[in-house]
Chain A
Amino acid sequence: MTALKFSRKHLGIPYGLFMALFVVFPLLLIIYYAFTDPLTGKLSLINFIDFFTSNANLTAMFISLALAILTTAICLLIAYPTAYILARTDMNKNGIMLLLFILPMWINFVLRTAAMKELLFSIGMFKSNKTSFINTLIGMVYDYLPFAVLPIYTVLQKLDKNILEASSDLGASGSQTLFKVTIPLSMPGIVSAITMILLPTMTSYVVSDTLGNGNVTIIGKLIENQFSTMYNWNAGSAIAMILLVFIFATMLISGKFSEEGSQDARGGGLW
């Protein structure tokens, strides 16, 4: 009787199984559905042709892209100084300030959005449907801000202080240090913030439905419609695949930056 030899490799089996079952298999299903005709069940490109010939779908794509890019940009603009102050000053000695920024993340997403609706209503943001887009944007920024603060904070905190001292020793001014040393070194944090915000904002239609009152239709809503009310899984899968292409494109571009950054940050990045 030969006993099964246990090696460290076997620890990876659950992970591999998990990936195969819940990542690879569903992905294959999506691809299968996306390339099948809903009526005949044969292989075809009809879903993609339908998507790119429909003005509504393309418009929704542009609206969601605009929303996603704006949300990400605003989140970064708010989160970077915040994370910088939290990481580099005494304000966050006990970690309480950081906790306050992260706290909303632990409260139910739908509840937070509903609360935001009441808040915006009380300052008169629901008087017309012209402000729907801005309301949605505010809600998205509010919901995704912790996702930007946290990775940037982690990177900035791990930043070697000697490097900054060296920079000022060598005569760089404060702003020069910021732009030439701190920001390039915190690039991995920024990139992971972008990847964590850009895509979810294109699909989290709860925010656009609640705060935009359904006046803002983003691509995630289209997918949901195709699946749950229009009974067209094929078209829904096709849109999901197109979205996937976008994800990979952003990953590819941001991956380039993060590689550069992480080399310098000596493995301080999350990616």
Chain B
Amino acid sequence: MKKLFSLFLCGILMLTILPLTSCKKEDSLVLNVYNWEDYIACDEEVYDMVAEFESWYKATYGKTVKVNYSTFGTNENMYNELKLTQKKDGTYSYDLVCPSEYMIQKMILEGMCEKFDHSKMVNYNNNLAPYIENLFEENGWYDYATCYNWGTMGFTYNPEKVAYDDVSSWSVVTNPKYKYKFSIKDSVRDSYVLALGYINREKLLALDPNSENYNKEVGSLLNDFSDQTIENARVFLSEVRQNLYGFEVDSGKQDMATGKLWINFAWSGDAVYAMDIAEEEGTYLEYVVPVEGSNLFFDGWVMPKGANKELAQIFLEFMYREDNAIENLDYICYSSPMVGEDVFTYVCSSYGLTTLIPCNEETEYQDANGNYYEEVYICNDPNFQENLVQNGDLLAYRLTYLDNDGNIACEETEIFTHSVKHFFGDKIEGDGIIYTDSLNRQLVAMYPTPETMNRCVVMEHVETQTLKKLNNMWDSVKVGYMKYSTMLIIIIAAVALIALVIVLILLKKKGKTLRLRKKNIGKLVNSERIK
């Protein structure tokens, strides 16, 4: 009976397992995506890109696809993981990875990447910003990588405490006014840019921004890895270390919002995020890219050798669709290389002032139907729109809000124009002007002026030997310097102390045994006396 029962159980188990296995065999579509942490729209309540893709794929192609989405914290970790899981035939177990610019260069050089089939990347090529396209084509990355996000490096600062003129130069880190109030990145590549920007500042400022080779010349100055420069950077950063608040890669945003920090060396995307969270605390932060020149970075998707190219490209195409690009832009805060009318409208509505209705000072703040405008500007020049095509033009105006009773609660502010035409190019109609109340906040941090972009350069990938020198330099900056003689004295003192303790213990033990012997002898004597 028992046997029968167990056979029955076995049968049931087999039955339950069978459909599972067959199910897996039928459609084995799996996409392995490896991305930075928190670097895709993944808010379950709002928009989950991966889940949306899976259901979209099912609806479009009638097959189920499973996206194995995993994340990494540093480029080097990602590279390690790729190398460790490399198969015998030289292929990798991921279909899509998203490294930063220098790692993309390294991976292309090492022949780790598959080429993209750009005839299938329709959404990407339709919406790609001309600036990014040129950058990728000039450097030969276009075939191997698609840009995901990009940005500049600069300073996030609190304008209430910090003067713009100070913070718009790398030399702000040597300014005694901001001692212990600024932080730099706990990362050798980023902080090296800061050091180079300071060391070469005179050379950088002497360059003519209008000349054709300006960007290339800045590039060569900010990609200087000679031994002498690395040593200079070490000396400079060691000095800076004495005056700074700290090194960070993540906590800076929070510390800016809570006021612990006044200046934070930051990536533009983080700057936007810091501004957003600081606004909730009532602090209005700003961002500036130093005038000498700075770093331009990007993260891009590459397909490692052996990837399922077709599926990977379909996934990317899905993400590069304009509405999805906007979802990502909204979640990640980093500038997207995707441009188009919808993106422009999104940027206008989230970072620009939209409902501006022109009227003269005498005009009532009412429209024909007697409704009050929510935001009104006053401009004495009726033809202002034709005159304002330059970035950063100031409109004399007054911004007004209606309170709940319909009364006008007036607030005077300045309004500027900022054009994003240079970045959006022909992808949008019109002149791409967005009205903004500050030229140093989210909008301009995400879409810098052409002058700013002209002075930003990509930091190149460096050789292993140079990297080792850089790392050693960074170690000694981070740790500090202790004299060898001091070390020796400490070691000798420690050894002497330990020896002393051991000797004392040994002596005590000897003493104990001696005393015990004496006691025992005493006892013997006593007992004999009693006898």
A217–B186 CA distance with the chains assembled, in angstroms: 11
A204-225 vs B, Cβ < 8 Å mask (1 yes, 0 no): 0000011011110100001001
**A230 interface residue per 8 A CB criterion:** yes
Task: Give the residues in chain A near B484, CB-CB below 8 Å.
Answer: 55
> What is the minimal beta-carbon distance from A153 to any residue of chain B, in angstroms?
26
- A129 at interface by CB-CB < 8 Å: yes
- Which residues of the partner chain B approach A62 to less than 8 Å between Cβ atoms? 482, 487, 490
Contact yes or no, A129 B245, CB < 8 A: yes
- CB of B335 within 8 Å of the partner chain: no
User: Smallest CB-CB separation from A230: which chain B residue?
Assistant: B471
Query: Is A73 engaged at the interface, CB distance under 8 Å to the other chain?
Result: no
- Is there an interface contact between B246 and A63, defined as CB atoms closer than 8 Å? no
Tell me the smallest distance from the CB of A212 to a CB of chain B, in Å: 7
Q: How far is the CB of A79 from chain B (nearest CB, A)?
A: 21
For chain A residues 204-257, which have a beta carbon within 8 Å of chain B? 209-210, 212-215, 217, 222, 225, 227-233, 253
Point out which of A127, A132, A225 has the most chain B C-beta atoms below 10 A from its C-beta: A225
A230 touches B76 (CB 8 A): yes
Residues on B with beta carbons closer than 8 Å to the beta carbon of A54: 472, 475-476
Interface residues on A, range: 20 to 34
A1 lies within 8 A of chain B by Cβ: no
Residue from B74, B246, B476, B482 within 8 A of A129 (CB atoms): B246
User: What is the distance, in angstroms, from A242's C-beta to the closest C-beta of chain B?
Assistant: 15
B472 touches A229 (CB 8 A): no
Residue among A63, A215, A253 facing the most chain B CB atoms (10 A cut-off)? A215
CB atoms of A213 and B248 under 8 A apart: yes
Interface status of B371 (Cβ within 8 A of chain A):
no
* Distance A253 CA – B472 CA, assembled complex (angstroms): 34
By the criterion CB–CB under 8 Å, are A214 and B187 in contact? no
User: Does A128 belong to the interface (CB within 8 Å)?
Assistant: yes
B251 touches A210 (CB 8 A): yes
B5 within 8 A of A: no
- A57 contact set on B, CB distance < 8 A: 475, 479
User: A163 at the A/B interface (Cβ < 8 Å)?
Assistant: no
Tell me, in angstroms, the Cα distance from A158 to B244 when the chains sit together. 51
Q: Is B260 an interface residue (CB 8 A)?
A: yes
Contact status A215-B487, CB under 8 Å: no
* Contact pick for B464, options A39, A58, A127, A128, CB 8 Å: A39
Q: Does B66 sit at the interface, judged by CB under 8 A?
A: no
A179 to chain B, nearest CB (A): 13
**A214 with B74, Cβ < 8 A, contacts A54-B472, A56-B476, A62-B482 known:** no
CB-based contact A121/B475 at 8 Å: no
Q: How many angstroms from the CA of A228 to the CA of B188 in the assembled complex?
A: 13
* Contact assessment for B80 and A231 in the assembled complex, using a CB-CB cutoff below 8 Å: yes
In the complex where A54-B472, A62-B490, A213-B183 touch, is A231 in contact with B247 (Cβ < 8 A)? no
Nearest chain A CB to B475's CB is how many angstroms away? 4
Whole-angstrom distance between the alpha carbons of A63 and B247 in the complex? 17
Given the known interface contacts A58-B482, A215-B246, the answer about A229 and B76 at a Cβ–Cβ threshold of 8 Å is yes
B243 / chain A contacts, CB cutoff of 8 Å: 129
Interchain CB contact (< 8 A) of A58 among B80, B251, B478, B487: B487
A121 to B243, CA, bound (A): 18
Please tell me if B226 contacts chain A, counting CB pairs below 8 Å.
no
**Complex contacts, B245 vs chain A, CB 8 Å:** 126, 129, 213
A 165-223 contacts with B by CB, 8 A = 209-210, 212-215, 217, 222
User: Is there contact, CB below 8 Å, between B478 and A217?
Assistant: yes
Would A59 and B479 count as touching, CB distance under 8 A?
Answer: yes
In this assembly, does A60 line the interface, its C-beta being within 8 Å of a C-beta of chain B? yes
Give the chain A neighbours of B482 by CB distance below 8 A: 55, 58-59, 62
- A42 CB to closest chain B CB (Å) equals 16
On chain A, the residues within 8 Å of B187 by CB distance are 229
Known contacts: A62-B482, A127-B180, A215-B241. The answer to whether A55 contacts B476 by CB under 8 A is yes
Proximity bits, A25-61, B CB within 8 Å = 1, else 0: 0000000000000010000000000000011111110
With A210-B251, A229-B74, A230-B76 already in contact, the answer to whether A132 and B478 are too (CB < 8 A) is no
Chain B interface (Cβ within 8 Å of chain A)? Answer: 73-74, 76-77, 79-80, 179-180, 183, 186-188, 241-248, 251, 260, 464, 467, 471-472, 475-476, 478-482, 484, 487, 490, 498
Beyond known contacts A54-B476, A228-B74: 12 more, CB 8 A cutoff: A55-B476, A55-B481, A56-B478, A56-B479, A62-B490, A129-B242, A129-B243, A210-B251, A213-B183, A213-B248, A222-B479, A229-B187
Residues of A at the B interface (CB closer than 8 Å) are: 39, 54-60, 62-63, 121, 126-129, 132, 209-210, 212-215, 217, 222, 225, 227-233, 253
What are 16 A-B contacts defined by CB distance under 8 Å? Answer: A39-B464, A54-B472, A56-B476, A56-B478, A56-B479, A57-B479, A58-B482, A59-B481, A62-B487, A121-B260, A126-B245, A128-B180, A213-B183, A214-B246, A229-B187, A230-B471
